[in-house]
Amino acid sequence: MTSLLPHPSVLSSLSGSYELTSGATVSGPTDLVDAVRLALPGLDLRPGDTGAIDVRHDTTLGAEAYKLTVGSRGIEITAGGRAGAFYAAQTLHQLLPDASYRFSAEASWTVPGVRVEDSPAFSWRGIHLDVARHFQPKREVFRMIDLMAVHKLNRLHLHLVDDQGWRIESRAFPRLHEVGSHRARTATNYFREPDTFDEIPHGGYYTLDDLSELAAYARSRSVTIVPEIDVPGHATAILAAYPEFGATGETFEVLPKWGISPAILSPLPPTVDFLTTIFDELLGALGETPFVHIGGDEVVLDHWSESAEIVAYQESLGLDNSAELQAWFLRKLADVLAERGVRAVVWDEAFVSGELRQDTVVMPWRGMGVGRRAAAAGHDVIATPVFPLYFDYAEAASTEEPMAIGDSITVHDVAAFAPTPSSWSAEETARVLGLQAQLWSERIPDARVLDYRAWPRACALAEVAWAGNASEGFGDRLREHLGRLDAIGVEYRPLDGPKPWQRRRPHRPGIVPVVTAMEHLDKMTESAHSTRPSI
């Protein structure tokens, strides 16, 4: 099966069809019935003792696996768990016309007779959303969850803190959201140009109650929120609020421009205690959270090596240099999370700079070469390489595209991606949990640009993540699927280029070609000291 719609190679046609109407009944275990109804909101399905859709639980199936049968006498869903029932209903929805994705008080759809047996190729099918550089209000996070659910994507990685903003309430350390959540202005210049600013304040944060609501909403749609508190670098917004947790004690303001600041948290015990309190607040709000991302990327370690107190602490731990201290610091935080039943996730710099806890998950953004090394070392891996999974890159090397960090990554590049190349060993391949697209938001100022950057490239991501590859006929399936996105109201990038109002500030093609960037990044992963900014 594919994520976008049924595929002939795994879809058996049956004789007959079934008329599904609004107000139809659904019978079966309550939690599975609820999942089916959530996946078909426009049909206003109602629970009943007997009905049009019969849902059954089969413990021999995987939690996300399902069987769907449609015939003249009704619809039967057999699922291994709540997620499987939800995905079965998404597939059922794909058998209906595009108009079924619009709300209708009265609707009647003819469902063709089919039999589908399906399960995902990868357990991690993710979208990374950077809400630190440009804040996305809660309503947009809800919408992203909804769109992920339609595409059977199941991990929403929220990048909640960076130099340019802190995005969650802290009752223990309130200056984090009072001071760190907003900046006075935002950079408007392109990459490697003189600084210019818009002089417009920007900010926002999610309350702990917001996080609880978002997590519950996501779980109901088989999406897990993976929060990221990126440390010890990318810390300007934290230190603007609490400079005492820095390596120098100097004061900062929330960074108004892009790029990387040398601001870095101290690795001393008070900082670990501070972050432990933050983790406890975060986990208390989110509820059951299997993963927390702790960053570890693009860290400028100069302030550590220049601090007599930090160097003395490093030596007391028997460590030779700042890179080893960074590895120790991240392992300490991973230990804190493990005590709470949570696995740490890191970017690949944390892997190359030193020994991690064995259960730490690695995201190799600088290429699958370092991803393979992490897998060979026994770490689970999420494929996140810049090419082709950084959706802040432009879809074409053209001034008609809205401004992006570089160019170009197309929907076909994403569809052609193989998370586990054939050259990998069976052991290395088994370590790849899945893949994830990154939406860094330096140049994604609002929801309309977010739609444009994410879709339809995330449709290709969904295909690869669910089926293992985007098989023959993907282009035709995608063109048909765009009708569903139109009905939902997604302002995606048309396949033949942007509409006039989507162009905005023009892109500067050729400044950061993605092929050149990847060559540079891959080379940097060969050094254990490659923690500095990489582009």
Q: What is the per-residue DSSP string for 347-396?
A: EHHHHHTSPPPTT-EEE-TT-HHHHHHHHHTT--EEE--HHHHBTTSBSS
On whether the CB atoms of residues 234 and 298 are closer than 8 A, the answer is yes
The mean predicted confidence, pLDDT, of the chain is 94
Q: Say which residues have a Cβ less than 8 Å from residue 367's Cβ, sequence separation at least 6.
A: 385, 386, 518, 521, 522, 525
Type and span of the H or E element at 314: helix 308-316
Higher pLDDT pick, 8 / 59: 59
On whether the CB atoms of residues 229 and 275 are closer than 8 A, the answer is yes
Q: Mean pLDDT, to the nearest integer, of 60-67?
A: 98
Q: Mean pLDDT, to the nearest integer, of 208-236?
A: 98
Place of tokens 């994520």: 3
Q: Tell whether the model's pLDDT for residue 10 goes beyond 90.
A: no
**E runs forming strands in 64-208:** 66-71, 74-79, 108-118, 124-130, 155-159, 161-162, 165-166, 182-183, 202-203
> Coil, helix or strand for 530?
coil
Q: Are strands 53-57 and 25-27 parallel, antiparallel or unpaired?
A: parallel
What percentage of the chain carries pLDDT values higher than 90? 85
Which pLDDT band, with edges at 50, 70 and 90, does 73 fall under? confident
Q: Tell whether the model's pLDDT for residue 502 goes beyond 70.
A: yes
Which pLDDT band, with edges at 50, 70 and 90, does 534 fall under? very low
Place of tokens 């804190």: 336
Q: How far is the CA of 69 from the CAs of 19, 38, 111, 122, in angstroms?
A: 14, 19, 11, 24
Q: Tell whether the model's pLDDT for residue 430 goes beyond 80.
A: yes
Give CA–CA dist 122/6, Å, rounded. 18
CB burial of 162-192 (b: ≥16 within 10 Å; e: otherwise) equals: bbbbbbbbbeebeebbebbbbbeebbeebbe
Closest CA to 483 of 6, 102, 21: 102
Closest CA to 216 of 280, 138, 117: 138
Q: Which is it for the CA torsion 470, 465, 131, 272, positive or negative? A: negative
Residue 328 exposed, middle or buried by CB count within 10 Å (0-12, 13-18, 19+): middle
Q: Give residue-wise pLDDT tens across range 298-334.
A: 999 999 999 999 999 999 999 999 999 999 999 999 9
Which pLDDT band, with edges at 50, 70 and 90, does 13 fall under? confident
Which pLDDT band, with edges at 50, 70 and 90, does 526 fall under? confident
Closest CA to 33 of 4, 75, 1: 75
Give CA–CA dist 171/515, Å, rounded. 45
Q: Tell whether the model's pLDDT for residue 426 goes beyond 50.
A: yes
Q: Tell whether the model's pLDDT for residue 231 goes beyond 80.
A: yes
Tokens of 216: 């519950």
Q: Say which residues have a Cβ less than 8 Å from residue 486's Cβ, sequence separation at least 6.
A: 98
* Range from 6-10, 59-63, 144-148, 352-356 carrying the lowest mean pLDDT: 6-10
Catalytic positions, written as ranges: 162, 234, 298
Q: Tell whether the model's pLDDT for residue 17 goes beyond 70.
A: yes
Give CA–CA dist 170/184, Å, rounded. 21
On whether the CB atoms of residues 408 and 512 are closer than 8 A, the answer is no
Q: Are strands 66-71 and 224-231 parallel, antiparallel or unpaired?
A: unpaired
Q: How far is the CA of 312 from the CAs of 299, 318, 321, 354, 419, in angstroms?
A: 20, 10, 11, 19, 43
On whether the CB atoms of residues 344 and 329 are closer than 8 A, the answer is no
Q: Tell whether the model's pLDDT for residue 535 goes beyond 80.
A: no
Angle at 393 between CA 391 and CA 396, to 5 degrees: 115
Q: Give residue-wise pLDDT tens across range 78-137.
A: 999 999 999 999 999 999 999 999 887 677 888 999 999 999 999 999 999 999 999 999
Q: Tell whether the model's pLDDT for residue 43 goes beyond 80.
A: no
On whether the CB atoms of residues 435 and 124 are closer than 8 A, the answer is yes
Which pLDDT band, with edges at 50, 70 and 90, does 471 fall under? confident
In degrees and rounded to multiples of 5, residue 182 shows phi and psi of: -145, 150
Closest CA to 365 of 130, 197, 92: 130
